[in-house]
Amino acid sequence: MTRRKNPDIRIESYGRYSKWKQGSKKLPMILEFTNTIEAVEGNEFEMILRIKESKGL
| Residues 5-36: tens digit of each pLDDT | 788 899 888 888 888 888 888 878 888 888 78
| Rounded distance between C-alpha atoms, residue 46 and residue 24, angstroms | 16
Domain hosting residue 31, numbered range: 14-52
Asked if residue 18 belongs to a domain, the reply is: yes
Predicted structure pTM score: 0.54
Inside any domain, residue 6: no
Whether residue 40 lies inside any domain: the answer is: yes
pLDDT at 57: 55
How far, in Å, are 1, 9, 13, 34, 55 from residue 19 at the CA level? 46, 25, 16, 16, 30
Q: Is residue 30 part of a domain?
A: yes
Does residue 32 lie within any of the structural domains? Answer: yes
Count the domains in the chain. 1
9 belongs to a structural domain: no
Whether residue 20 lies inside any domain: the answer is yes
CA–CA separation, 44 vs 17, rounded Å?
6
User: Exposed, middle or buried, 14 (CB in 10 Å: 0-12/13-18/19+)?
Assistant: middle
CB 17 within 8 A of CB 30: yes
